[in-house]
């Protein structure tokens, strides 16, 4: 019995079809059939029952399948151990990031990675929350920044990013120390569409409010320009705010509304030693970043 035969066995068991199993592992239907037949001949038992609707494990086949999965899991563990022993320095890490993290957090992290692991290669793919999740699930990227927690992803919380109200500098509310969503609900509202709209809409809904959305805008610089021009108000994360906004009042929300940002992978159990090292370094950088940027 070979590891390849066990991989084919598990693929057929999961998919219930020789054809679908072949598509999953890059083998023809006849190749899958030949592999399973050879394994059955070697073991002297039938592993599957065949029917018009597909294939199903026999009782003995189920026991073999369970043992094969354990062997494959242990094999993967051995590979991870050997990879770590050989060093994680020469790995390539593909990172999914959204604009505010790319601008604010990622440069310091990449600089630290270059110092700590000088031969580690990094690639950055920038996109929306939805794109990053899809890239993670399809293997386009190895690790990605994403609102936390998120169903179907595992990882670690990195940053708590408070949302702020932004109003024209001469708006009547601009003299107050903070504003509530109730106070913003009757104002012409510019809804950010780069990902935070889900959180903002949810916070309004929790209070039984509906913002008077006059514009939907994805680019934060455009939102701030529109606020400065007096056409509306908005709510945006602290990480997106530039250092200087002379014609825009930036105010805390009361109560606070916080965007939680994590560093995520499809499953931590399958993450490579290099990805895990990258995540540990991100956690270390995030501790100081949170203190320096948000003064917490």
- Distance between CA 192 and CA 222 in Å, rounded? 10
DSSP state of 240: G
The structure's pTM equals 0.67
pLDDT of residue 295: 45
Per-residue pLDDT of 195-252, as tens digits, reads 889 999 999 999 999 999 999 999 989 999 999 999 999 999 999 998 888 899 999 9
Q: Domains plus CATH for the chain?
A: 3-86 (1.10.10.10), 92-158+260-294 (3.40.190.10), 159-259 (3.40.190.10)
91 pLDDT more than 90: no
Per-residue pLDDT of 100-115, as tens digits, reads 999 999 999 999 998 8
pLDDT of residue 199: 94
Angle formed by the axes of helices 273-294 and 59-86, nearest 10°: 60
pLDDT of residue 296: 40
| Token pair listed for 143 | 């690790």
If you average pLDDT over residues 84-98, what whole number do you get? 78
The answer to whether 189 and 232 are in contact (CB under 8 A) is yes
DSSP of 259-276, one letter per residue?
Answer: EEEEEEES-GGG--HHHH
pLDDT of residue 254: 95
Percent of the chain topping pLDDT 70: 95
pLDDT band at 89 (very low <50, low <70, confident <90, very high): low
Of 231, 228, 235, whose CA–CA distance to 252 is shortest? Answer: 235
């Amino acid at each position: 019995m070979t590891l390849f035969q066990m991989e084919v066995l598990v693929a057929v068991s999961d998919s219930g079809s020789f054809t679908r199993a072949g598509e999953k592992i890059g083998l023809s239907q006849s190749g899958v059939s030949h592999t399973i037949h050879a394994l059955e001949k070697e073991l002297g038992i039938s592993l599957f029952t065949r029917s018009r609707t597909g294939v199903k494990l026999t009782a003995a086949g189920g026991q073999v399948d369970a043992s094969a999965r354990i062997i494959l899991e242990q094999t993967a563990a051995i590979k991870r151990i050997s990879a770590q022993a050989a060093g994680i320095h020469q790995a390539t890490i593909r990172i999914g990031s959204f604009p505010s993290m790319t601008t604010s957090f990622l440069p310091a992290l990449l600089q630290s990675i270059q110092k700590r692991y000088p031969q580690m290669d990094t690639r950055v793919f920038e996109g929306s929350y939805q794109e990053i999740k899809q890239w993670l699930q399809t293997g386009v990227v190895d690790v990605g920044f994403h609102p936390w927690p998120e169903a179907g992803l595992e990882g670690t919380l990195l940053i708590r990013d408070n949302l702020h109200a932004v109003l024209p500098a001469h708006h009547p509310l601009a003299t107050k120390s903070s504003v509530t969503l109730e106070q913003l609900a009757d104002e012409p509202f510019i809804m950010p569409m780069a990902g935070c709209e889900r959180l903002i809409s949810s916070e309004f809904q929790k209070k039984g409010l509906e913002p008077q959305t006059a514009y939907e805008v994805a680019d934060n610089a455009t939102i701030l320009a529109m606020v400065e021009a007096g056409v509306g108000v908005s709510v945006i994360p602290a990480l997106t705010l530039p250092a200087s906004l002379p014609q825009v009042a930036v105010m805390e929300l009361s109560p606070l509304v916080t965007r939680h940002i994590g560093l995520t992978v499809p499953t931590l159990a399958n993450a490579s030693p290099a990805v895990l090292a990258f995540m540990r370094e991100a956690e270390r950088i995030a501790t100081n970043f949170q203190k320096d940027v948000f003064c917490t």
